[in-house]
Amino acid sequence: MGIGEYPAEYNRKVHGPYDPARFYGKADIPFGQVKLGQLGAWLGRRRITGLPGAVSRAYWSWQHKYFLPKKTGFAPFGQLMVGLMAFFYAINYGKIIHHRNHKYHW
């Protein structure tokens, strides 16, 4: 599967219009139901390239639920603001820890 191509499991006659938020592969056992003895076989069935596809599906399902409806509310903008606050806190954490107030100075 290359960039910009449909997944190999997608069939237009069976699935209808393409939805980027849907997984077209064969359904497998959820991770929470995998027994310890089946873990190796379950991991062997995973595709290495599956993570970018999972991130893309999560992004598109978020888009369809919160951002793309005609009458969207404050939720997508609030989620974006909280995400940006967490991101900027993480990248500036090294500078922030030097401004802590301590009861005893060393």
Torsion of CA 11, 16, 21, 25, to 10 degrees: -30
Answer whether residue 1 shows pLDDT above 60: no
Q: What is the pLDDT of residue 54?
A: 81
Render pLDDT for 77-106 as a digit per residue (tens, 0 to 9). 999 999 999 999 999 998 888 877 777 665
* 63-76 residue pLDDT tens: 888 888 888 889 99
Quote the pLDDT of residue 48.
Answer: 63
CA distance 24 to 18: 10
Instruction: State the pLDDT at residue 4.
Output: 78
pTM of the model: 0.57
Model confidence pLDDT, tens digit, residues 18-56:
888 888 877 778 888 989 998 888 888 777 666 787 888
Domain ranges of the chain: 12-70
**Residue 2 to residue 88: CA distance in whole angstroms:** 33
